[in-house]
Copies of this chain bind each other. A is one copy, B any other.
Amino acid sequence: MTVRIGVIGTGAIGRDHARRIQHVLSGGTIVALSDVNRASAEAVRADIAPDATVYATGQELIAAPDVDAVLVTSWGTTHEEYVLAAIAAGKPCFCEKPLATTADGAKRIVDAEVAHGKRLVQVGFMRRYDEGYVALKKVVDTRIGAPIMVHAAHRNPTVPEAYVTPMAIHDTLIHEIDVFRWLLDDDYVSARVTFPRSCARTHAKLRDPQIVTLTTAKGTVINTEVFVNCHYGYDIQCEVVGEDGIAKLPEPVSIRMRLDAKLQNDILTDWKDRFVASYDVELQDFLKAAAQGTASGPTSWDGYMAAVTSDACVAAQEVEGQSVPITLPTRPALYA
């Protein structure tokens, strides 16, 4: 069966996902497109999916009888309404992060999905599909004993002027927040933020770097350095310390050279290159589940937990050095 997909939001990521489904992945076809800027949707139709219908609104697209499943790749502020509509229509829905712009919004999606009684939503936390993290999880689960600490770093060479301190959580740490819950199979109970002196390359509204300490229900302590003006490259580091040993996320594949008196590998500088292969895998996973009328991978609950944790981390930024508790709601059976 070929899953007939509608894409709401045809900007960079929407267009790229449409291309994947048409030209790279198996089992899906783009039949519907929509964007607030209709010309954008028309262009994707012209370039990628000539047989697709362009709809004036996302709601119309969701309602279209020949749309089996939906990709929500519009602006973050619109995610909640489209995901709720897809659930109401009983159609599988892949939603890019954030699931909603508030924890309450994410909670409304969880409630709707639980009421529906079957998983329909996959959140676009692509790192769970990255070859390196998948290999790391296997080792963490089987080789190094129970995890006790994680030492991590999320570094960008630079960020735009508009990037302010809380965005280090909402736009950057959000990936670690999700992936460590999955990696450790655990939940967070508190957050603390420590600020070293800020680096010279930052600006008045961004304290950079910062160290975010998350403690889990099982007592694991995760320290993540977030440094978004690190200059040298885009670099994701993660080391898990277990009872018996330590495991480290692999570096991206690159060529070791001996050149110019240096033993050297290139480091990526553009975040878009770092997890590019995992987008293919996550969408293939979506297509496979959607063909069965359901969803797989990161859940609405995961999206909600990420929102709750992010809020706590931002609160922790405001009381530097103090521990902010994270209240764990009861997990519905649907997400057990």
Q: Which residues of A contact B (CB under 8 A)?
A: 22-27, 131-132, 135-136, 138-139, 143-146, 148-149, 151, 153, 157, 192, 194-197, 199-201, 209, 211, 213, 215, 218-221, 223, 225, 227, 230-233, 235, 241, 243-251, 253-269, 284, 321, 323
Contacts and interface: CB of A to CB of B under 8 A. Distances in A.
A284 B24 CA distance: 8
Contacts of A243: 199-201, 231
Given A148-B197, A148-B209, A149-B211, 19 more contacts: A135-B253, A135-B255, A139-B257, A146-B200, A151-B223, A197-B220, A201-B243, A211-B223, A227-B241, A232-B245, A232-B262, A233-B261, A244-B259, A245-B257, A248-B256, A250-B254, A258-B267, A263-B264, A321-B323
Contact of A151 (B146, B225, B265): B225
B259 A269 contact: no
A199 B251 CA distance: 28
A24 to B, nearest CB: 5
A250 to B, nearest CB: 5
Max count, chain B CB within 10 A of own CB: residue among A200, A225, A255:
A255
A230 B27 CA distance: 42
Contacts of A261: 157, 232-233, 266-269
A139 B253 CA distance: 13
Contacts of A260: 232, 245
Contacts of A230: 241, 246
Nearest to A132: B253
